[in-house]
Amino acid sequence: MRPGFLVGLAAVCGVAAFQLWVSPSNPPGFFRDEASIAYNAHTISTHGRDEYGARFPLYLTSFRDYKSPLFVYGLAGVFRVTGADREVARGFAAVCLLAAVLLLGWLAYRRTSHASVGVATVVLAGTTPWLFELGRVAFEVALEPLLLCLVLLAVERASRLGRWSTATAIPVSLALGAITYVYAGGRLLAPLLALALVAVLGRERWRWVLTAWAGFAVTQVPLLLYARVHPGALSRRYDATTFVTDDMPPWEIAWRGAVNYLQDLQLWHYVVSGDVKPYAHTPGTSALLAVSVCLSLAGLVLIVLRHRSDAFWRYSVAALLVSPIPAATTADRFHALRLAPVAVMLVVVAVPALGALRNGVVERDWRIRALVAALVVLAGAQFAVFVDEYRTDGPLRGGRFEAGIPALLAAGWVDGGTVYVDYDDLEPLGLARWYALERGVDESRVVRLPDGGIPPSGAVAFGRTQECDYVCDRIAESGDYWIARVVGPRA
């Protein structure tokens, strides 16, 4: 076995070990969206129904929102084997991200025919803080990078083989369709990625593009039927996050959207910081390595100068350009979850630069070798700083991950007690159901009150957004959440 092979194998194994680093205390607690996803995966794996009784629903009711199905059903399959567990749920997300990282390496190898470039791409993607942290939480979006990689691989295969036929168009359609059902932002991202297929057009490829579009349209039929039966359900998340108001003129919408788009592409911000929301990113740490950004920019230059006639690289640039659009329609900037496709595409467009560096090293150009050594040192230093900050500051996010909830509920369940939750207070209900499952507490000891219902006097109520509709005395609080002793009905 050659030393180069052993070094490459060690690098890939190191990346895999890092990506599978799932710590029970980092992030701490279990965010309410994670708990909702995990609990629904459990109920589907055991009863074939979501937590509100719907049998194998296409979308899953969660609080006042609807969760996309692919991650939940995938996790349900895992829970069927392992049983419901918080670390298993987060481990599933980590495996999804690791699979995406490995597919990026395979994509780089297929593009360059050099295993060393594939290994370098795996290392580049696997050490990207943005992608790493995306795999630390059990959110649906953790599956999106993997599906995006499948789209890219399907387009790459058609381009490499020169077979622009139905057989190569259908995999693209299916992968794009899957993106629609993986995350709320995917319902806009997938059509944009489908539209970006015009970048591959040539005199003999228009039928291939039309076939891919037709196949993608077929995958949207279930979504359209669901939206017809449940009016407003799939637009509820957009309505809650968009900056667009009913009285806003079209020119202002376009202007603000363009400003948002450009702001989200300020790559230096991700080098020195990232998403300000602690559930998506460790505050104060880098989201992207500076070396990675430099390689992506260099790769874009090489694509324009050397590879613009290559259909796959044209599509990659088009996919990168459309990826920030779903996030630009919302009021939040630098949103790590909605902008996850951007992190993936930045790795993809860095491949030509990695290939050029590899050629310079093989040709024994001392300047290229010195540059590679400097890049490795700089990337290693920033990566080490990120790991240290993640390890020390990550566990401090207890408030954002609602780490105090188990103690509140334990006080309600002491001595065989029952926890009562208001009919409309759905976040506490989801958390109470999950922690009852995790702690082996009988599900009958979590009671959702009927609308306007009052718990028995002396019982324990658990809430967040709803105040007591009866007389109660607060016992303890954790952030917005509280438990209270029920005194009785109001006079």
Phi, psi of 235 (to 5 degrees): -100, 0
This prediction has a pTM of 0.95
Bond into 249 cis (ω within 30): no
Q: Mean pLDDT throughout 330-346?
A: 95
**What does the DSSP assignment read for 248-265?**
--HHHHHHHHHHHHHHHT
Q: Answer whether residue 334 shows pLDDT above 70.
A: yes
Phi, psi of 481 (to 5 degrees): -90, 155
Residue 286, token pair as written in the block:
């880098």
Q: What are residue 55's DSSP bridge partners? A: 49
Residue 30, token pair as written in the block:
């279990």
Beta strands in 53-145 (DSSP E): 60-62, 65-67
Measure CA 422 to chain center: 31
CB 116 within 8 A of CB 4: yes
Q: Answer whether residue 1 shows pLDDT above 70.
A: no
Q: Answer whether residue 296 shows pLDDT above 90.
A: yes
For 440, residues 6+ apart whose C-beta sits below 8 A from its C-beta are none
Q: Mean pLDDT throughout 185-191?
A: 96
Q: Answer whether residue 239 shows pLDDT above 90.
A: no
**Alpha-carbon gap, residue 200 to 227, rounded angstroms:** 32
Q: Which residue has the tokens 């409309």?
A: 424
pLDDT at 445: 94
pLDDT at 180: 96
State pLDDT tens for residues 138-186. 999 999 999 999 999 999 999 998 889 899 999 999 999 999 999 999 9
Q: What is the number of alpha carbons within 13 Å of residue 334 lying toward its C-beta?
A: 21
Reported confidence tier of residue 468, pLDDT bands at 50, 70, 90: confident
pLDDT at 389: 95
For 311, residues 6+ apart whose C-beta sits below 8 A from its C-beta are 155, 158, 159, 199, 200, 202, 205
Going by the DSSP 8-state scheme, the letter that residue 491 receives in this structure is -
Q: Answer whether residue 400 shows pLDDT above 90.
A: no
Q: Could you give the 3-state DSSP secondary structure of residue 421?
A: strand
Q: Mean pLDDT throughout 124-139?
A: 96
Going by the DSSP 8-state scheme, the letter that residue 471 receives in this structure is E
Phi, psi of 327 (to 5 degrees): -70, -30
Residue 269 burial (C-beta neighbours within 10 Å; 0-12, 13-18, 19+): middle
**Alpha-carbon gap, residue 462 to 466, rounded angstroms:** 10
pLDDT at 64: 73
pLDDT at 269: 95
pLDDT at 232: 86
- Measured between its terminal Cα atoms, the distance across the chain in Å is 83
Q: Answer whether residue 486 shows pLDDT above 80.
A: yes
Q: Mean pLDDT throughout 418-422?
A: 94
- Give the lowest-confidence range in 313-322, 361-370, 482-491: 361-370
